[in-house]
């Protein structure tokens, strides 16, 4: 780690948020609860959307599946804020962890995938009815989304395993 990284981590550690979470007996467990609720909203919603876009659940209109996207976004926002709290509480544990860094890269990739889908395909498929099949690009985007979010969850669960391990980022 560079001196700049250490400076940023120390600044984050010294923030009011980081101090409050470390000093409280209930804030970290509460953040974990919020994180789990956010993850459930995000993943549950994305399962419905991505599986329908992949051609599963064809008896369900795509516009109904896409109606779950605001719940996915809300879940992502909950996870973002609770995740910031986790990192603020102990940036020296999270940042050097290779699973954490890879998770952040995968979240960025999932966001780029979502942006590309929204820009290029969302309007096209929103009007599809029962039984209509999406094109290959949409299926690849949905499969990538599903795979990335599953991998992100696995990485999150792997954080304690890789704590203090070798770094590859």
Residue 168 lies in a domain: no
Tens-digit pLDDT profile for residues 104-133: 999 999 999 999 999 999 999 988 888 889
Residue 82 lies in a domain: yes
pTM attached to this predicted model: 0.89
Query: Distance between CA 130 and CA 62 in Å, rounded?
Result: 7
Residue 167 lies in a domain: no
Q: 95: domain range?
A: 3-162
Q: 3: which residues sit within 8 A by CB, 6+ positions away?
A: none
- The tally of domains found in the chain comes to 1
Alpha-carbon 131 to chain mean position:
30
pLDDT at position 168 is 44
User: In the structure, what pLDDT confidence band is assigned to residue 1 with cuts at 50, 70 and 90?
Assistant: low
Residue 74 lies in a domain: yes
Residue scoring higher pLDDT (169 or 45): 45
50 contacts 142 by C-beta, under 8 angstroms = yes
The mean pLDDT value of the chain amounts to: 92
């Amino acid at each position: 780690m560079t001196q700049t990284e250490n400076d940023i981590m120390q600044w984050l550690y010294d923030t009011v948020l980081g101090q409050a979470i470390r000093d409280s007996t209930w804030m970290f467990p509460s953040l974990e609860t919020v994180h789990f609720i956010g993850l459930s909203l995000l993943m549950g919603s994305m399962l419905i959307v991505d599986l329908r876009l992949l051609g599963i659940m064809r008896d369900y209109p795509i516009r109904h599946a896409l109606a779950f996207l605001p719940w996915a976004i809300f879940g992502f926002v909950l996870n973002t804020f609770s995740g910031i709290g986790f990192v603020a509480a102990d940036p020296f544990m999270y940042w050097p962890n290779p699973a954490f860094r890879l998770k952040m890269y995968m979240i960025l990739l999932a966001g780029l995938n979502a942006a590309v889908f929204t820009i290029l395909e969302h309007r096209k498929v929103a009007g599809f009815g029962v039984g209509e099949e999406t094109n290959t690009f949409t299926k690849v985007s949905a499969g990538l989304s599903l795979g990335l979010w599953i991998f992100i969850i696995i990485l999150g669960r792997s954080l304690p395993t890789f704590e203090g391990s070798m770094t590859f980022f």
